[in-house]
Amino acid sequence: MLTQLTRLSIEADGCYAKAEQLQFLKNYFQSLDQRVSAYEKIRSAEAEIISQVEAKMRALDPNLFCSATGDFTETWRRDIVQLLRYAAAALLFNDQERLREGLLLWHNTIAKSYQFDRTCKTTFTLMPEVIQQYLTLQETALFSPILELNYILLS
């Protein structure tokens, strides 16, 4: 939304915006209540969501959080909190582009340098399963593309 608003302000500078340029606003406001509701649910359940994802990951592979330098569970927790918060903000503002360019590309570089690819892949394979327990079907439909973007860029 913020990226699209910036783009619209540039494109419509000195003239009226066309109907197709305004369509994203109409779509956004139609889904605003669901976006706010989903955002609030994710915010309230953040610790539970992360705990459940971690438990599922450990059940799959107890050594998933171990590397040559030791256990990186705390680093994963810190990073996943940040990633979940940015994803929730992207949901609220309907701005995947900003998420992609502002955090995910940077985090991708870090994940690759520390060889966290497998952990990231597992995280964002399991995250949608956990998240859907907290959201309605409509809210899940709005949030799923954001989690998919995380999966694609981080694994």
What domains are defined for the chain? 2-6+33-154 (1.10.490.20)
Output the six-digit token pair for 38.
């989903």
pTM (predicted TM-score): 0.87
Number of Cβ within 10 Å of residue 128's Cβ equals 16
Category of 15 on φ-ψ map: left (φ > 0), alpha (ψ -120 to 50) or beta: beta
Task: Give residue 63's identity as a one-letter amino acid code.
Answer: N
Render pLDDT for 18-53 as a digit per residue (tens, 0 to 9). Answer: 888 889 899 999 999 999 999 999 999 999 999 999
Give the model's confidence band at 105: pLDDT under 50 very low, under 70 low, under 90 confident, else very high.
low
Give the model's confidence band at 99: pLDDT under 50 very low, under 70 low, under 90 confident, else very high.
confident
CA distance linking residue 90 with residue 93, whole number of Å: 5
Residues 87-108: what's their mean pLDDT? 83
Concatenating the DSSP letter of every residue in 54-114 gives: HHHHHHH-TTTTEETTEE-HHHHHHHHHHHHHHHHHHHHHT-HHHHIIIIIHHHHHHHHHT
